[in-house]
Amino acid sequence: MRRPWNDVVIADCGESLVSLKSRFLCLEPHPYVRVGAPYGEGADPYRLRSGVLERLHKAQDQLSMAHDSAAGSLQLAIFDAWRPVQVQAYMVLHATVELCRQRGIDPDDPAQLEAMARVQSDVSQFWAPPSRDPGMPPPHSTGAAVDLTLADITGTVLPMGGEIDAIGEESIPDAHASAAEQDPSGDAALWHRRRCLLHDVMKEAGFVRHPNEWWHFSHGDQLWAWSVNAERAIYASVPSS
């Protein structure tokens, strides 16, 4: 499925991938390694381009000045970062199989072709195709994109009104906006404030958010360039070494 931003030209700037592990709270075990994703022996998924890492530090600095009404001081919690194309392919299949399981669909049953088509369409709203076309790389394969959430100072991940990678309306960034307006003291209002805070600190640092995912932010990839009207993207896909 081609996205509108895949028409943006890419001119890679040559920055290297840098590990986040000594700098940020990285959720362990890594969620995709845990389900068997093929990163390769010794590979570190918690890496981003060096320029993206600098901006992530700026976001953390902004966040350190914020205060959550229920949790107090906050920090960024990294769910996923660099994701090579073979891992993207594995996880698209994993997400499809899991959604079929949740909906009671047998993908091999000819009588369920329509239901299977809906599953594939729903998955495609949240997972980029594992393309090896250099002109339309999956965002995470470039080292420009990061999936993250908020945690308190002890490292406890905070409720955000929907799990990362959930396929459904709860993943849309403003999913709880209406409920928050109706009940400013309720859980939905807290979740909405947290999503807005995460967006604010990331935007201030130069990131853009994926339109369907409250947790996904990037700088320097095609989505970023398309969103800010940049002439070109500066990060191409980085293969496994």
H-only helix segments in the chain: 31-34, 50-63, 85-103, 113-124, 177-182, 187-204, 222-228
For residue 181, the enclosing domain spans 4-228
User: In this structure, is residue 238 part of a structural domain?
Assistant: no
Mean predicted confidence (pLDDT) in 65-73:
88
% of the chain with per-residue pLDDT over 70: 100
pLDDT in the model for residue 240: 83
Instruction: For residue 146, give the CATH number of its domain.
Output: 3.30.1380.10
Q: What phi and psi, each to the nearest 5 degrees, are found at residue 74?
A: -125, 160
Starting from the edge strand earliest in sequence, which strands make up the sheet with 74-80, in order?
Answer: 25-26, 74-80, 145-152, 216-218, 208-209
Does any domain span residue 240?
Answer: no
Helix (H, G, I), strand (E, B) or coil at 75: strand
Average pLDDT, integer, range 34-61: 95
Q: How confident is the model at residue 25 (pLDDT cuts 50, 70, 90)?
A: very high
Task: List residues bridging with 76 in a β-sheet.
Answer: 150
Residue 72 forms part of a structural domain: yes
Examine residue 233 and state whether it is found in any structural domain, yes or no: no
Angstrom distance (rounded) from CA 107 to CA 94: 13
pLDDT value at residue 3? 86
pLDDT tens sequence across 163-209: 999 999 999 999 999 999 999 999 999 999 999 999 999 999 999 99
Phi, psi of 85 (to 5 degrees): -60, -35
Average pLDDT over residues 112-130: 94
Residue 13 lies in a domain: yes
- Cα separation, 92 vs 145, whole angstroms: 17
236 lies in some domain: no
pLDDT at position 126, please?
94
**pLDDT grade for 218, boundaries at 50, 70 and 90:** very high
Q: Is the pLDDT of residue 241 over 80?
A: no
What is the rounded average pLDDT for all residues in the chain?
Answer: 96
Token pair 């075990």 in the structure block, residue: 29
Question: What is the pLDDT confidence band of residue 103, given thresholds at 50, 70 and 90?
Answer: very high
d(CA 215, CA 209): 8
Torsions phi, psi for 153 (to 5 deg): -70, -20
Which residue in 41, 54, 163, 213 is the catalytic one? 213
Domain assignment present for 239: no
Task: Tell how far CA 137 is from the center of its chain.
Answer: 15
Total domain count, the chain: 1
Q: Is residue 159 part of a domain?
A: yes
Judge contact between 104 and 174, C-beta under 8 A.
Answer: no
> Whole-model pTM?
0.96
Residue 213 a catalytic site member = yes
Q: What is the pLDDT of residue 21?
A: 95
Q: How far is CA 190 from the centre of its chain?
A: 21
